Structure 1
Amino acid sequence: MTLRTICLTSALALTASAAAAEMNFNRIASFATPDNMADGEDRGRVTSAEIIYATEDGNTLVYTDSPLGVIGRIDITDPAMPKPLGNIDMGGEPTSVAIAGTTAFVGVNTSESFTNPSGKLVVLDALSGELAGECDLGGQPDSVALSQDGSFVVIAIENERDEDLGDGRVGQMPAGYVTILDVADGMAQCDSMVTADVTGLAEIAPEDPEPEFVDVNGLGEIVVTMQENNHIVVLSKSGEVLSHFSAGAVDLQGIDATDERAALLFTESQPGRLREPDSVQWIDDDHFATANEGDMDGGSRGFTIFAKDGTVAYESGADFEKAVIEVGHYPDKRSDAKGAEPEGLEFATFDGTPYLFVMSERGSVVGVYDVSDPAAPMLTQMLPSGIAPEGIVAIPQRNLLATANEEDLVEDGGVRSHVMVYDYADGAAQYPTLTSQGADELIGWGAISGMVAGDDGMIYAVNDSFYGFQPTIFTIDPSQTPARIIKALGVTRGGYTAQKLDMEGITSDGQGGFWIASEGRSDRLVPHALYHVDAQGVITDEIGLPAELLANEVRFGFEGITMIDGTLWMAMQREWGDDPKDHVKLLSYSPDTAEWGAVLYPKASPEKGWTGLSEITAHGDHVYIVERDNQIGAAAVTKKIYRVSVADLQPAALGTVLPVVTKQEVRDLIPDLKAWGGYVVDKVEGMAITDDGTVYVATDNDGVDDSSGETFFWSFKLNN
């Protein structure tokens, strides 16, 4: 049985009953770019998968890796098991790639400086690596595209500006342009080069166009975006300007335009926001789509479909960003910049349906739109990707899709850059696993930490301190697929949003309210504390830790709370100063007597990083505990659920010798996490267990900050 066919109940099989006969895209594999490095190479170097293309047979992926100065190649003959084919040095910084058959056309930046740009087009066999030749382009290339019949190649020569020079704006010389070269016998004909002059067209810095992206339709017409100039040009294959027009502006409503870094507030507007399009894709011979990422003065957070005469056929406005918000991928720290930041596009027809794929660079998610009617695109799916998707390629002849995700966090000990592979097949969409779509109001969410099962069939979850100005209790309906956030209840104190909370655990008080465990940080004046909250979210009582505990404080405190016969039990994440190595406290507190106690829990001793606890939940005769390491991807070892007998929870007084409990492994969660086809995420944070023994588990997406934004919410039944 492959990981892809592992059967997890509930949310992992999201819409099996509703969509069993439907075609959907689902991720089936991921490939870490360091795997293409040769033996002996320093895998600690930063890598990146940026622009990606496929050979004509669809069996090989080729991507640009500018930090290493190479193109990387992946064998996807078996798409569920990608294999490394190694890197090829490009003698500069590769910026884009396009392929005809197995012949790769690679734009390579060799510039000495912004003011002295240079570059070349390298032509080689993608499989053997054999070089066919090079053409001097005379400037710094960005996007590369081939005509559909393979007769010519077009390159956007951006000659990008130095953002640190002067006011960092266009114009800055030398100006950019577009080059067109004939292709014959598998080689670009250097002496056929045509330079298309696109100066003097834009209203913004007409003397300094910066062509960003190019694409070619079935008529051989070339569309060019000039992002910084907020302008679009349509050229003939001979370089003649057929039409040109401003990309225009959009009035945005219901967005978060302020970087408060701690709350999701979609109440602001931005009138007249320049589109400043990045990627562009023809969807037929008369219409093309732009991803309106923005750069200097704009970014309209969505995408637009234009007719080639400049008429707007469709404008997404804030709708694309709304879809990103509902699946928990909204990057709040980018609110004052470009929000979800749509950057890359792809278009292809699968099984007779024309699809436009829109990538959110900062939200790390891909929107899939049916564009059968270019004036009325229909959103059909939101696909998870790695961090910062930069490139995307459709392989409809094999019913495959692949994304290149550029962010590599090796220097911070985080996840590596990845290429993700998706299959288009009969069956349910596996993602999202949790959404706020369909709620009475737009609910932004993320950083899910503690959870508890309610008597009403709902799951109640809290967010952590990433949203410090918006502590929230979410009501999740797990009976729907995907599970639905139907309500967001703010936690308040004295009539105002409660501050100085890091909610990491929640449990029912049996009277309609909750007890919340907050992980403190004394160096930031955030107390380690328990909070009693009523059904309206109002804090009615606060319990601080006793002095004998705080005398040995370490920042990593409460990571879960549960109640057993009126006594609260809290899991501490990691050792404090008085704990023996690889043992952490399970603390007890009686609200009736105000007495504290503790036992010791023996946790795993990791070879790398640390291991700690992240949740505790009582069910029947046991408490169930999530134990996890802080490792991610292939380095992940411990993501497990253990249980401890309630009879073993005999707390001793603080300051005395604490008894050590015995744990029993219940489930290894790594196979579950692998079943979504991506890398193993590090933060398994939430767990709730219903009366019938159904276990719900959730991951924390860190507020989409240095994270792919993926939240996995799934369930399984206890065996006993």
Structure 2
Amino acid sequence: MPIRLSALTSVLALATAFPALAETHFARTASFPTPLNMAAGEDTARVTSAEIISASEDGMTLVYTDSPLGVIGLVDITDPKAPKPLGNIDMGGEPTTAQIIGGKAFVGVNTSESYAAPSGKLVTVDLASRKIVAECEIGGQPDSVAKAEDGSFVAIAIENERDEELNEGEIPQMPAGFVVKIAIADGVADCAGLQTIDVTGIAEIAPEDPEPEFLDVNAAGEIVLTMQENNHIVVIGADGTISSHFSAGTVDLDGIDTKSDGKLDFTGSKKGVLREPDGVKWIDADHFATANEGDYKGGSRGWTIFNRDGTVVYEDAGKLERAIVATGHYPEHRSKSKGTELESIEFAEFGGTPMLFVAAERSSMIGAYDITDPANPVLVQLIASGISPEGMVAIPARGLLATANEVDLVEDGLARAHVMVYEMTEGAAGYPMITSEGAEELIGWGALSGLVADAETPAKLYAVSDSVYGMAPAIYEIDASQTPARIVAKTIVTRGGDAAQKLDLEGITLDGKGGFWVASEGRSDRLVPHAIYNVNAKGEIKKEIALPAELLAHETRYGFEGIALVGDVLWMPVQREWADDAEGQVKLVAYNLETKEWGAVAYPLEPKGEGWMGLSEMTVHGDWAYIVERDNLVGEAAVVKKIFRVALADLVPAKLGETLPVVTKHEVRDLIPDLKALNGFVLDKVEGLAIDAAGTGWVVTDNDGVDDHSGETLFWSIGTMN
């Protein structure tokens, strides 16, 4: 089946265009959490990972490295929609990369006692029996392992990595790294004939201490090698001698965010930034591409196509990062260093089209390019991955792509590490579901935590962002009549002409006068007050309403998670129980704008499971108040992500301090099936619900500003609300 890919549409100079909808795209078919590979009785609460990933020659089995457990994990993808665990195999050290030749996996394993005394081995695993059949010492700490296309040898980058705590991470730090080649015949590694390739004395930076990072082998048996810390690239001939080498060079960056300051400001620039490439892949006999992650001096936020002689054929210079910004996946907390942090790269031909995949580790996204013309790559899709994609493998014969996502947040009660599988599919991509692409200027956004509909125009909505961007809180205008929905405007909330800093906006409603009421969730330990603000259409705060003492006397950090206006009364759901609440009940707090009186009713929560239970949104339509109730769990552990409704007639507040009447709730919709629609893991934070002028319900999730989060924002319609 030929792949048909569309060209990019153009936006203003600072905003990289987002791809037009393609007729063919990669759709996620499954997400496989790595704890599934643990044996019965093992402690699944241990941290695990999926780092570098490869596929068997028939494309039916995935093999990933898991350094926290010291294993390789195997996954059966005979049915790519239903991966099956095949278990873990202990490597006796820290596995870095596995390459599969025939029925054997050849695994680089780090066994170093220290940075100063590095060691490692090549482990051979028989995949049929899942047994280790051979091991050999390789003389140092391995990083990347690559294989010849004909399976005749493997090449290993012996990094002998530096100690980042020593000398502020500066190199040189001995011993030096090198490259080894090991011949493979009939599934047996010829370790006795191991060839050591010296790469000292050639880099401009610390030539005595090369630190080989990643390598790849082309059809002619030539090896391309990146030395990230040295900012150098080496081409090694089929005979094992260096045929060329050159500095990876520098790049000038414009239109980037350079400060980790709680703002999304893409007007900065950096000049002469070292590329410091990590991942590298040959794309034909004369060209290879690098993902320029950066290290301690670099961070060029882009990727590059080089000619084998060192000539730059194409430089991304941050264009992929700006495309990612439009999808809400930008990690603002990484702005001071390496931004989206492009790290790994994969190449394959799908249906005759040469395609390059570039993984942005900190944004958890994959840029998919048509590189028919290496000088003019075309971004055809942005693919959402799990948290921190570390490795990718393409299986073009089956139309598949798989990613290994290394971060496991089990200790924080959040998402586990995952392997994700994608299949080339006809039709328009289902993600992103909301984007700022097409706006007159590049709009950075994320952490959408509250939603309200325009009173007159269907599919016109407004959202607020929470404390992740607390130095520049914002209101976003959304046009949901398009697919994906478009963020068309961003208004910074201001006080006295300056951004109203340290607001944690969790709810928004119309004030009936062209402006908004917004609710800010406070944290006394950070000197952020619980409060309500009236904001005009320009974002200017015109009025602040502080909570009364009798309410604050019982406060916790979990405050208002929404706001709705009913007549003259503002209603604010409190996320979790405060000190004076009965167990399993939370307040719906009322404030009468005319009489200035406070009151509340009690709302009964669903029974708690493993995590907590709370509220995260409230909106009003017809005779009902609709409320989002959820647990704080993710993935298969998630149980409650639901919409309930309460009759407005029951919202009769008692005075604070009195016994609160308990309202009756009615379940409207279980949102977990919706959250599984894109075959990712179930996200935690459903935080926005609005019902528009046509009676259509809209829901949005909060992506936490891409901090300990995949960055995915799900935005969808739940149909007509009766």
TM-score bin, normalised by smaller chain: over 0.9
Match of 1:474 in 2: 476
Distance in 2, Cα, partners of 1:487 & 1:456: 16
Match of 2:452 in 1: 452
Distance in 2, Cα, partners of 1:401 & 1:481: 25
* Contact preservation (8 Å) 2:457, 2:692: no
Match of 1:256 in 2: 257
Distance in 2, Cα, partners of 1:279 & 1:356: 12
Matched residue type, 1:616: M
Distance in 1, Cα, partners of 2:94 & 2:663: 56
Cα drift, residue 135 of structure 1: 2.3
Matched residue type, 1:356: L
Matching residue within 537, 540, 543 for 2:539:
537
Cα drift, residue 387 of structure 1: 0.9
Match of 2:363 in 1: 363
Answering whether residue 16 of structure 2 is matched by residue 33 of structure 1, we say no
Match of 1:312 in 2: 312
Matched residue type, 1:303: W
Shifted more, 623-632 versus 39-48: the winner is 39-48
* Contact preservation (8 Å) 2:126, 2:133: yes
Match of 1:373 in 2: 373
Are residues 201 and 571 of structure 1, via their aligned partners in 2, closer, same or farther at CA, if it must alter by over 3 Å?
same
Cα drift, residue 237 of structure 1: 2.2
RMSD: 1.2
Residue-by-residue CA offset, 1:126-158 (whole Å, 9 max, x unaligned): 232133322221111110111111111111111
Matched residue type, 1:596: W
* Contact preservation (8 Å) 1:132, 1:187: no
Secondary structure at the aligned position of 2:561 is classed as: strand
* Contact preservation (8 Å) 2:97, 2:143: yes
Answering whether residue 699 of structure 2 is matched by residue 701 of structure 1, we say no
Answering whether residue 610 of structure 2 is matched by residue 613 of structure 1, we say no
Distance in 2, Cα, partners of 1:523 & 1:175: 48
Distance in 1, Cα, partners of 2:128 & 2:513: 66
Match of 2:325 in 1: 325
Distance in 2, Cα, partners of 1:449 & 1:719: 21
Distance in 2, Cα, partners of 1:167 & 1:58: 43
Match of 2:394 in 1: 394
Q: How does 1:601-640 map to 2 (within 5 A)?
A: 601-640=603-642
Match of 2:137 in 1: 136
Cα drift, residue 678 of structure 1: 0.9
Distance in 2, Cα, partners of 1:585 & 1:538: 29
Residue-by-residue CA offset, 1:563-598 (whole Å, 9 max, x unaligned): 122321111111111111111111111212212221
Match of 1:302 in 2: 302
Distance in 2, Cα, partners of 1:153 & 1:494: 64
Matched residue type, 1:53: S
Distance in 2, Cα, partners of 1:376 & 1:233: 24
Distance in 1, Cα, partners of 2:524 & 2:112: 50
* Contact preservation (8 Å) 1:500, 1:527: no
* Contact preservation (8 Å) 2:697, 2:721: no
Distance in 2, Cα, partners of 1:214 & 1:408: 26
Unmatched tracts of structure 1, length 5 or more: 1-17
Match of 1:557 in 2: 559
Matched residue type, 2:92: G
Match of 2:65 in 1: 64
Cα drift, residue 291 of structure 1: 0.4
Match of 1:22 in 2: 23
Cα drift, residue 99 of structure 1: 1.0
* Contact preservation (8 Å) 2:691, 2:721: no
Distance in 2, Cα, partners of 1:615 & 1:199: 60
Match of 2:288 in 1: 288
Match of 1:166 in 2: 167
Distance in 1, Cα, partners of 2:696 & 2:720: 6
Match of 1:350 in 2: 350
Distance in 2, Cα, partners of 1:202 & 1:328: 38
Answering whether residue 656 of structure 2 is matched by residue 664 of structure 1, we say no
Match of 2:222 in 1: 221
Secondary structure at the aligned position of 1:145 is classed as: strand
Shifted more, 412-421 versus 119-128: the winner is 119-128
Distance in 2, Cα, partners of 1:481 & 1:249: 38
Secondary structure at the aligned position of 1:211 is classed as: coil
Secondary structure at the aligned position of 1:480 is classed as: coil
Secondary structure at the aligned position of 2:606 is classed as: coil
Distance in 2, Cα, partners of 1:525 & 1:114: 43
Distance in 2, Cα, partners of 1:114 & 1:573: 48
Match of 1:4 in 2: none
Secondary structure at the aligned position of 1:634 is classed as: helix
* Contact preservation (8 Å) 2:30, 2:421: yes
Cα drift, residue 522 of structure 1: 2.1
Match of 2:16 in 1: none
Match of 1:10 in 2: none
Match of 2:100 in 1: 99
Shifted more, 577-586 versus 119-128: the winner is 119-128
Match of 1:465 in 2: 467
TM-score (norm 1): 0.96
Secondary structure at the aligned position of 2:386 is classed as: coil
Matched residue type, 2:490: A
Match of 2:421 in 1: 421
Matched residue type, 2:223: I
Distance in 1, Cα, partners of 2:322 & 2:635: 29
Distance in 2, Cα, partners of 1:442 & 1:167: 36
Cα drift, residue 267 of structure 1: 1.6
Cα drift, residue 524 of structure 1: 1.9
Distance in 2, Cα, partners of 1:243 & 1:534: 63
**Count of equivalent residues:** 701
Unmatched tracts of structure 2, length 5 or more: 1-19
Matched residue type, 2:272: G
Match of 2:589 in 1: 587
TM-score (norm 2): 0.96
Distance in 2, Cα, partners of 1:443 & 1:476: 12
Distance in 2, Cα, partners of 1:128 & 1:701: 42
* Contact preservation (8 Å) 2:220, 2:238: no
Distance in 1, Cα, partners of 2:266 & 2:90: 46
Matching residue within 516, 521, 541 for 2:518:
516
Match of 1:183 in 2: 184
* Contact preservation (8 Å) 2:457, 2:693: no
* Contact preservation (8 Å) 1:233, 1:244: yes
Matched residue type, 2:433: T
Distance in 2, Cα, partners of 1:41 & 1:652: 52
* Contact preservation (8 Å) 2:628, 2:643: yes
Cα drift, residue 719 of structure 1: 5.6
* Contact preservation (8 Å) 2:73, 2:87: yes
Q: How does 1:225-236 map to 2 (within 5 A)?
A: 225-236=226-237
Match of 2:111 in 1: 110
Match of 1:490 in 2: 492
Residue-by-residue CA offset, 1:309-341 (whole Å, 9 max, x unaligned): 101000000101101111111111111111110
Shifted more, 68-77 versus 647-656: the winner is 647-656
Match of 1:89 in 2: 90
Matched residue type, 1:84: P
Match of 2:157 in 1: 156
Cα drift, residue 69 of structure 1: 0.7
* Contact preservation (8 Å) 1:62, 1:126: no
Matched residue type, 2:42: E
* Contact preservation (8 Å) 1:289, 1:305: yes
Matched residue type, 2:224: V
Cα drift, residue 102 of structure 1: 2.7
Cα drift, residue 192 of structure 1: 2.4
* Contact preservation (8 Å) 1:63, 1:73: yes
Distance in 1, Cα, partners of 2:166 & 2:540: 52
* Contact preservation (8 Å) 2:696, 2:721: no
Matched residue type, 1:621: D
Distance in 1, Cα, partners of 2:593 & 2:625: 19
Answering whether residue 648 of structure 2 is matched by residue 674 of structure 1, we say no
Distance in 2, Cα, partners of 1:695 & 1:147: 54
Residue-by-residue CA offset, 1:427-471 (whole Å, 9 max, x unaligned): 220111111111111111111001100123311000001111011
Identity of aligned residues (%): 65
* Contact preservation (8 Å) 1:364, 1:386: yes
Cα drift, residue 407 of structure 1: 0.6
Matched residue type, 2:630: R
Cα drift, residue 607 of structure 1: 2.1
Shifted more, 46-55 versus 453-462: the winner is 453-462
Cα drift, residue 507 of structure 1: 0.5
Secondary structure at the aligned position of 2:355 is classed as: strand
